[in-house]
Copies of this chain bind each other. A is one copy, B any other.
Amino acid sequence: MHFASDNWAGTHPKIAENLSRHASGFASAYGTSTLDKAVEQTFNEIFEREVAVFFVATGTAANSLAQASVAKPGGVTFAHREAHTIADEGGAPEYLTGGSRLHPVDGPLGRINVDNLRRAVAGYNNVRAGQPMAVSITQLTESGTLYEPGEIAAISTVCREYGLPLHMDGARFTNALVSLGCSPADMTWRQGVDILSFGGTKNGCWCAEALVFMDPAWAAAFPFIRQRAAQLFSKSRFIAAQFEAYFEGDLWLDMARQANSMARRMADHISASDNIRLAWEPRGNEIFAIMKLTTAARLREDGALFYDMNAPAYERQLVDEGETLTRLVTSFATSPEEIDRFGELIK
């Protein structure tokens, strides 16, 4: 019962097959091959506009270099306190932007509160405080919730007021997308998203992360930024080959639907249980559940893998003494049998 993280899964067989298919043959390096170019074209189609796409090695690289591409001296990026770029990237954004700051913004359930955002941005209004440089949201959020398109637009409105680019960390982009049932364009640039970290790794690839600039004009310097950060693969087509299979026949959507549906199945088990309760409603493939510490220990003995989370301010009140807030993540590789076995254990 692997619910530790969606990055504990391997890769979808179709992706492995495609890597095998491209194993032989020669192609030009550094992202210039026919296959690389074809995948870039697919991104244009998916986003219903010409975008600029750059493969990078990790989601952290995508998030950090997105910020580097809009960096300013004394610059500050605003993100939710629980955002990956603040909590889990080991200083990469600060380092790769040459020393910018990440300002945590609070809001319930992993989502930036617009008033808090506006107040935080307004505080950086002189040379001694520093200057606002970007806003970053995560979709699906680190709490397994999401922003409705209109909520993204509301954040974007603050960005426009202050002339700030809006970045979306889409490590679980597809899980949010199929959950909302909207188009990639509707979840991004039509709501004012300027730069997207498009993640394929957590959704069934080995290593497939792309930075997408909705307006290619923004990406003029990015080839230099990526090379300077040592993020340009020589055999770049091994990423392209993964994305080729990923998009082929809507595999990406199918994998995310599978992950989400397994999460839904688990949520139903939890709702029916007396031993464990949903901390809040899941919107994708991440479930946050509260249980007794003893229950958690027993489940782990029985083979369930999942993490305890430090509950932030808002969420702390939900957790009673002797309880723990846990995160359970499903993926394309999660089976109904695993879920149902877990369901049995929590009965």
- Cβ-based interface call for A181 (8 A): no
Residues of the B chain whose Cβ atoms lie less than 8 Å from the Cβ of A57: 57-58, 61, 230-231, 233
* Of listed A8, A56, A61, A87, residue having the most chain B CB within 10 A: A8
Residues of the B chain whose Cβ atoms lie less than 8 Å from the Cβ of A127: 30, 90, 223-224, 227, 232
**A60 CA to B94 CA, complexed, in Å:** 19
Contact A10 B25, CB 8 Å, known A72-B224, A224-B127:
yes
Nearest B residue to A92 via CB reads B230
We find that the number of chain A residues with CB closer than 8 angstroms to chain B is 80
- Cβ-based interface call for A150 (8 A): no
Option from B16, B75, B227 in Cβ contact (under 8 Å) with A128: B227
Contact A221 B26, CB 8 Å, known A201-B235, A227-B90:
no
Give me 21 A-to-B residue pairs in the complex whose CB atoms sit less than 8 angstroms apart, sorted by A's number.
Answer: A2-B26, A5-B234, A8-B28, A8-B29, A10-B23, A10-B26, A11-B235, A16-B19, A26-B333, A30-B127, A60-B230, A61-B231, A65-B230, A75-B91, A91-B100, A92-B228, A94-B100, A96-B99, A98-B99, A131-B224, A202-B234
* Complex A-B, nearest 5 residue pairs according to Cβ-Cβ distance, in ascending order: A95-B99, A90-B227, A57-B57, A61-B230, A206-B238
Measured CB to CB, the residues of A under 8 A from B are 2, 4-5, 7-13, 15-17, 19-20, 22-30, 56-61, 64-65, 68, 72-76, 87-92, 94-102, 123, 127-131, 201-202, 206-207, 221, 223-225, 227-235, 237-238, 310, 333
